[in-house]
Structure 1
Amino acid sequence: MNVRVIFRIYIVYSLVFWLGCKSSDKPVVEPFVPPQETTFTNPLITGADPSVYQKDGTYYYMHTVGNAIRLWKTDAMSKISSAQAVTVFTPTTGQPNSRNIWAPELFFLDNKWYIYYTAGNGEDRTQRTWVLENSNADPTTGTWINKGRIFNADTDFWAIDGTVLEHNGQRYFLWCGRPDPNNADLTQNIYIAKMTNPWTLEGSSTRLTTPQFAWERNGFGVNEAPQVLTINNKVFMVYSASFCGTDDYALGMMSLNDGGNPLNLNDWVKRNQPVFTKKPQSGAYGPGHNSFFKSPDGNESWMIYHANSNPNQGCAEQRNVRMQKITIGTDGFPNFGEPVAIGLQITKPSGEK
C-alpha cells in the first residue's frame, strides 16, 4: 500500500472520529413527561343526586340540574369536573314535565339509550317519572324522544327517582312513591314492578320498603333513590332514608334472597341499621342518593354520592358529589365504610389514566 492511500485512510478516520466527538458533546434533551397523578380529593363537583352509567370504557355521569338534563362523558371519574357537560333535554314551558327536573339516570337497553327522570308542572304533588329515548350510538349526540310517563295504574301517584334492575333475563323498574294525593302524609316508599319494555310497566306493583325505623324518619319518613348493586349474581338494593333537609340523610340496604323473586316482598331482607351515615369530622352531612360503578380495569367497586360539607345546609345548592371505593366482605355483602374526609388524598380507581 502506497503512502498516498495510507494518508487518505488516515484523513477519513480522523474526520469520522472528530465528527463523532463533536456530536457527542451536544447535551441530550429528553422530552418532558409530567408525573402522572395517582390520587384525587373529594368533593369532585358541585351537585346532587349523582348517577353513573358505564359502557365500553366510558363513564356517563348525570346529576340534578333542575330545569334541564345534562350529560357528562369521561374515561376517568376522578376527573369528572374537567369533563364537558352536554344539555340533552330542555323541556317545553308549561308542559307537565317542565319543572323540578330531578335525579336523571341513563341506561343502555335493547340497543338504545334511555333516561329516566323526575319532573312535574311546578307543584310538588305533580312530580312523576318520565322516559327519554335515543337510538344514537353516542348518547351525548343524536335526538332524544319523549316516551312519556312510566307508571302502573295501581301506583299512579307522586313518583320520583326511577331506576332499573336487570335480573335473570327480566327487567324491573324501581322508584319512590308517595301515595297521599293531598300531601297530608309525606311518607315516601319504594316500589317495584316488571317492565314490558323500557317505557312500559306490567302487572301490579310491590311496595318493597316503607320507613319503619327511627333512622329512616328524621324530618319525616323517607325511603327514596333506590340503587341496584349486583355482586356475584347477588342483588342488593341501596336506598336513601330520612328527609334530605336533615343532616341525618343516610343509606339503607335490602338484599334479595338467592333464587328469590324481586316482586315478592318476602324474598327481600332489610337491614335494621343504616349502612352509610354522616361523619361531621370528615365534613360529610346528609350523605346519600348514591350510584355505583366499576374501576376501568373492573377490579374495584366504587360508590358516588352527594353530601353537605357543613351542618344545616339541607336540600340546597351547597350539596356536592364525592366518590370512594367499597369493599366486599367474606360473606359476599358490600361494606361502604364511612365518608372519606374532604381534601384527603385518595388513590384513583385502578386502571384509571
Structure 2
Amino acid sequence: MKHYISHTIVILSLFFSWGNQAQTFQNPLLDSGADPFSVYVDGYYYYTHTTGNGVVLWKTKNLANLRDAVSKTIWTPPANTMYSKDIWAPEIHYIDHKWYVYVAADNGTNENHRMYVLENTTADPLNDHWEFKGKLAAPSDKWAIDGNVYMYKDQLYMAWSGWEGDTNGQQDIFIAKMSDPLTISGKRVKISSPTYPWELNGDLGTAGNPAHVSVNEGPQFLEHDGNLFIVFSASGCWTDHYALGLLSLTGNDPMDATAWSKKEAPLFKQTPENSVYAPGHNSFFKSPDGKEDWILYHANSNPGEGCGNKRSPRMQRLYWQEDGTPYIGTPFPTSVIQPIPSK
C-alpha cells in the first residue's frame, strides 16, 4: 500500500494561488448540505444537495470554491401534490445534450415517497426552463428514493433504494433498465439487502414501541477500466454507524442479481479519532483534467447529530487498487489541508 501513502493524511503548510483560486482546501465545502451530488460539463461543476423543499443548483469551476459559487433554485414544487414535500437527494445529469434532475418526494407521508424527474433542454441549467416530467417508477410502483442513473455498455440503468412491499422496516437496492432518461422500461431487480452487522444499525421508536429499520440506500454507480461498481450507504443515517458499502459486478449483466458481489467490510466508515461521524450518501466526480477520481460525501463532526442539518458536504480523492477495486481510506479530519483536484 506504499503508493497510497500520499492519501493517508495530507498536511500542507502553505497555500498557493492559481489566478484567484486557492490550490488547497479544507472540508467541509459548505456548513450544511446532505446527499451531495455533482456533474462536470464543459468546464463547470453543477452541484446540488438536499434542501427538503425544492432543488437548488450551484455552478463552479472548482468544487472547493462552493462557498463562492453562483446558485439558483431551479424547482419549487406546487403545494398539495404527491411530490410537494420531503424532497430528498436530487441528482443532476447531462444525457444526450439535455439536463435531467432526479429527485425523491412525497406529500408529507413517507410511505408515498417516489422518484420524479425534471428536464431542461437548454445549454445552461441555471435558468427557469426546467419542466416537471412526472413520476419515474418501475411497474411495481413501490416506495423509492435516491435514484442514480448511469449508462453502461450503451444501456441506461437506474439504481435506487426501495421497499420490497408497502411497509417500512428494510430498504434494499434495486436496479432497472431505462428506455430513455424519462422512462423505466422493465421490472426492478433487487441486488442488495442489509445483511452484515455494519449494515444493521437502525433502531427507531420508543421503549414501549420499539422498531428496527435496516438500510441500504444512496446507490452510486462507479466504473473504472471496464469494471462496474455500486457504492451504497448502509445503516440508519440517524446513527453514527452510517457507512459506505461496495457492490462489484462480477458477471456481465447488471440485471442479474447473482452477478453482484458485496464486500464484507464497509468501504468507508466513521472515524471518531478524526471527529468524522456517519459519513455517507456519496457521489463521485473526476478532476477537470480527467486524471483523478474523487468522492463527495456528507458527514457530521460530532457524535449523535443524526440526519439533520449538521451534515456537511466533503470531498477527498479515491484511488484504485491492484485488484481493480476503489480505495478511499478513512474520512479526513477538517484540519487536513488537501490539494484541489488536478487541472
TM > 0.5 between the two? yes
What is the identity, as a one-letter code, of the residue corresponding to 1:148?
G
**Cα RMSD for the two superposed structures:** 1.3
> What are the superposed Cα offsets for residues 290-327 of structure 1, whole Å, 9 maximum, x if unpaired?
01001111111100100000000000011111100011
Query: 1:344 is paired with a residue of what secondary structure?
Result: coil
1:177 aligns with 2:162: yes
In structure 2, the residue matched to 1:111 is 97
Counterpart AA for 2:231: V
Equivalent in the alignment of 2:244? 251
| Superposition deviation, residue 343 in structure 1 | 2.1
- State the aligned residue count: 315
Amino acid at match of 1:206: V
Higher strand residue share: 2
Task: Answer yes or no: is 1:80 the counterpart of 2:66.
Answer: yes
Q: Please report how far the alpha carbon of residue 162 of structure 1 lies from its aligned counterpart in structure 2 after TM superposition.
A: 0.4
Q: Does 1:152 align with 2:138?
A: yes
- Tell me what 1:38 maps to: 23
Q: Alpha carbons of 1:182 and 1:269: their partners in 2 closer, same or farther (altered >3 Å)?
A: closer
Paired letter, 2:179: T
Contact 1:162/1:225 (8 A) holds in 2: yes
Indicate the residue corresponding to 1:58 in structure 2. Answer: 44
What is the match of residue 215 of structure 2?
A: 222
- The amino acid across from 2:70 in the alignment is Q
Q: What corresponds to 2:272 in structure 1? A: 280
- 1:338 and 2:339 aligned: no
Task: From the superposition, tell whether residues 253 and 103 of structure 1 become closer, same or farther in structure 2 (CA, over 3 Å).
Answer: same
Mapping for residues 324-335 of structure 1, pairs under 5 Å: 324-335=316-327
What's the secondary structure of 2:170's corresponding residue?
coil
| Equivalent position amino acid for 1:269 in 2 | S
Secondary structure of 1:215 counterpart: helix
* 1:303 partner letter: I
1:38 deviates by: 2.0
1:182 positional shift = 3.6
Alignment correspondent of 1:132: 118
1:232 aligns with 2:216: no
Secondary structure class of the residue paired with 2:35: coil
Assess, with a 3 A threshold, how the Cα gap between structure 1 residues 169 and 245 changes in structure 2: closer, same or farther.
same
Describe the SS at the equivalent of 1:63. strand
Cα distance per residue 1:180-226 (max 9 Å; x no partner): 4243xx20001001101111111211001010111101013100000
Alignment of 1:202-213 (within 5 A): 202-213=185-196
Q: State the distance in 2 between where 1:213 and 1:102 align.
A: 26
Q: Residue in 2 aligned with 1:348? A: 340
Unaligned runs of 5+ in 1: 1-32
Q: Whole-Å Cα distance in 1 between the matches of residues 197 and 322 of structure 2?
A: 29
Q: 1:136 to 1:212 in 2, by over 3 A?
A: same
Residues 135, 142 of structure 1: 8 Å contact kept: no
The verdict on how the C-alpha distance between 1:311 and 1:203 changes in structure 2, with shifts beyond 3 A counting, is same
Match of 1:93 among 63, 79, 102: 79
- d(CA) in 1 for partners of 2:185 and 2:77? 27
Going from structure 1 to structure 2, the CA distance change for 1:136 and 1:290 (only over 3 Å counts) comes to same
* Residues 139 and 186, structure 2, Cα contact 8 Å, conserved in 1: no
Write the letter of the residue equivalent to 2:173. Answer: I
> 1:332 Cα shift?
1.5
Task: Give the equivalent residue in structure 2 for 1:197.
Answer: 180
Note if contact 1:287-1:308 (Cα within 8 Å) is conserved in structure 2.
yes
Contact kept, 8 Å, 1:50 with 1:62, in 2: the verdict is yes
Note the residue ranges of structure 2 that are not aligned, 5 or more in a row: 1-17, 203-212
What is the rounded CA distance, in whole Å, between the counterparts of 2:247 and 2:164 in structure 1? 22
Distance 1:142 1:271, change over 3 A: same
**Are 1:161 and 2:146 matched, yes or no?**
yes
Indicate if the aligned counterparts of 2:159 and 2:176 stay in contact, CA closer than 8 A.
Answer: yes
Matched to 1:301, the amino acid is: D
Q: Partner letter of residue 161 of structure 1?
A: D
CA distance, structure 2, for counterparts of residue 56 and residue 110 of structure 1: 14
The alignment partner of 1:281 has SS state of helix
Letter in 1 for 2:227: K
- The structure that has the greater radius of gyration is 1
The residue type paired with residue 283 of structure 2 is S
The one-character-per-residue Cα deviations of 1:42-99 (angstroms, maximum 9, x if unpaired) are: 1111110000111122111000000110000110011111112100001101011100
Q: CA deviation at 1:36?
A: 5.8
Match of 1:317 among 309, 312, 321: 309
Give the C-alpha shift of residue 142 in structure 1. Answer: 4.2
Q: Map Cα deviations across residues 266-300 of structure 1 (whole Å, 9 max, x no partner).
A: 11111111100000121210000001001111111
The change in CA–CA distance for 1:300 and 1:196 in structure 2 (over 3 A counts) is same
Residue of structure 2 equivalent to 1:5: none
| Runs of 4+ residues over 3 Å off in structure 1 | 33-36
Matched residue type, 1:102:
W
More helix by share: 1
